Structure 1
């Protein structure tokens, strides 16, 4: 199998927090970045600037990752302007808190469809390029509550647990095609939030601090790199020891 460490990377939810750090980190590693976000805002411009400052090209495509036609159109545009996809990072997510009996079907569907359905849609869009070239990397961003469970987050926990299952299924199916599929599961990460979710309050992290977005990005960069070619179907935990398996 031919190893490569550059190409085009699609990063969903790339305009802020962990997604931005991943996009910038992959740019530092030589990738052009196809950014996918639901809306264009100040974060989009900042991410593009940071990618271009590292000498790489960046293209923003605004789309809801649940919309298969919009995602396919974005991948087609990225292929035309940047080239075929080598890497996909499924990072888009909706994280909400609500008592289980207060979650209505609309809440449930939105969270599960963005996190898990979006990963399904984007993986189907990206895999043909990878299979054709005989090389590819998919990294799915999971989450520690998907492993531990959490009160008031049944929809989020279910979606994130499903991400780990999807990771293993695709790893089995595409290993022989030269495509590795792994997950990164962040713990308590210092990000810009509207509020601090309940599962993130009062936690005793063994390392004594919250994590940084660049530490999550570093895990993604490792899994994308040539040195991780023998790693597939795994979940790499970046959680400061708050959950150990």
Structure 2
């Protein structure tokens, strides 16, 4: 068997930029091959794939809308066809729009829940049989600070991220007998590129959620925690929400 089939394999959604990109690179640094999932930006996804390969592992790109039920099997099947196994699932895909709740359409509400929460459910459901076959199956969901603090104009985002917290706990209990750990990493104020169309340039909640460190964190701060939770040193950690926020929120 070639070396490619001896490496752990991870699926990372929303991996074409920012935190998702950093997660893919952190996992690659730990010797993991990565399936990079993006909704439409193939150029950015392929650039991340090249960075993963430069780190010494293998990468493959899938363009898919995680909110579509059919996408989950496409993504998981791609991982199995390309690498022959699946060990880690990182549900990172997210959209963070802002709009007053009374002006929010049902379609706008459902778009966010579909990507953040439905997508995590669908991919987890498709991945479970293969994660169960891994000696160290792990799921890491990426939450958000406002799920715990609230935020104006983000009813859909807050609800979706809070739902991910509940889903994490439910899955940890249900999947423990199958050897799968499930945890959530909740980033706080992270310095990211907000030039694309799915993020507010200056989110209103940033003025309310000050860090104790006096600075924003980096995508790499979040990624290092994800790599830990997905790795062999964290097999006794499951059902947990880990806050990476510089002390902006103290649970």
Which TM-score band applies after superposition, normalised by the shorter structure? over 0.9
Question: How far apart are 1:77 and its partner, in Å?
Answer: 1.8
Counterpart of 2:94 in structure 1 is 93
Counterpart of 2:244 in structure 1 is 238
Tell me which moved more, 15-24 or 191-200.
191-200
Partners of 2:7 and 2:245 in 1: CA distance:
28
Is residue 2:210 matched to residue 1:220?
A: no
Contact 2:25 2:51 in 1 (8 A): yes
Question: How far apart are 1:35 and its partner, in Å?
Answer: 1.1
Counterpart of 1:53 in structure 2 is 54
Following TM superposition, the consecutive aligned residue runs of length 4 or more in structure 1 with deviations greater than 2 angstroms are: 132-135, 201-204
User: Which secondary structure does the structure 2 equivalent of 1:33 belong to?
Assistant: strand
Deviations 1:180-237 (A, max 9, x none): 0000000000000031211123642111100000000011011011111111000000
Question: How far apart are 1:164 and its partner, in Å?
Answer: 0.3
Unaligned runs of 5+ in 2: 1-5, 196-200
Q: How does 1:1-245 map to 2 (within 5 A)?
A: 6-194=7-195, 195-201=201-207, 203-245=209-251
Contact 1:7 1:83 in 2 (8 A): no
Counterpart of 2:198 in structure 1 is none
Partners of 2:128 and 2:204 in 1: CA distance:
36
User: Which secondary structure does the structure 2 equivalent of 1:22 belong to?
Assistant: helix
Tell me which moved more, 158-167 or 67-76.
67-76
Question: How far apart are 1:83 and its partner, in Å?
Answer: 1.9
Partners of 1:46 and 1:84 in 2: CA distance:
23
Q: 1:202 to 1:161 in 2, by over 3 A?
A: closer
Contact 1:135 1:177 in 2 (8 A): no
The TM-score, its normalising length taken from structure 2, stands at: 0.93
Unaligned runs of 5+ in 1: none
Contact 2:46 2:61 in 1 (8 A): no
Deviations 1:20-73 (A, max 9, x none): 000011011111101111113332122011100011111111100012222212
Contact 2:16 2:38 in 1 (8 A): yes
Q: 1:95 to 1:167 in 2, by over 3 A?
A: same
Contact 2:86 2:134 in 1 (8 A): no
Contact 2:9 2:87 in 1 (8 A): yes
Counterpart of 2:3 in structure 1 is none
Contact 2:12 2:36 in 1 (8 A): yes
Contact 1:140 1:183 in 2 (8 A): yes
Contact 2:23 2:223 in 1 (8 A): yes
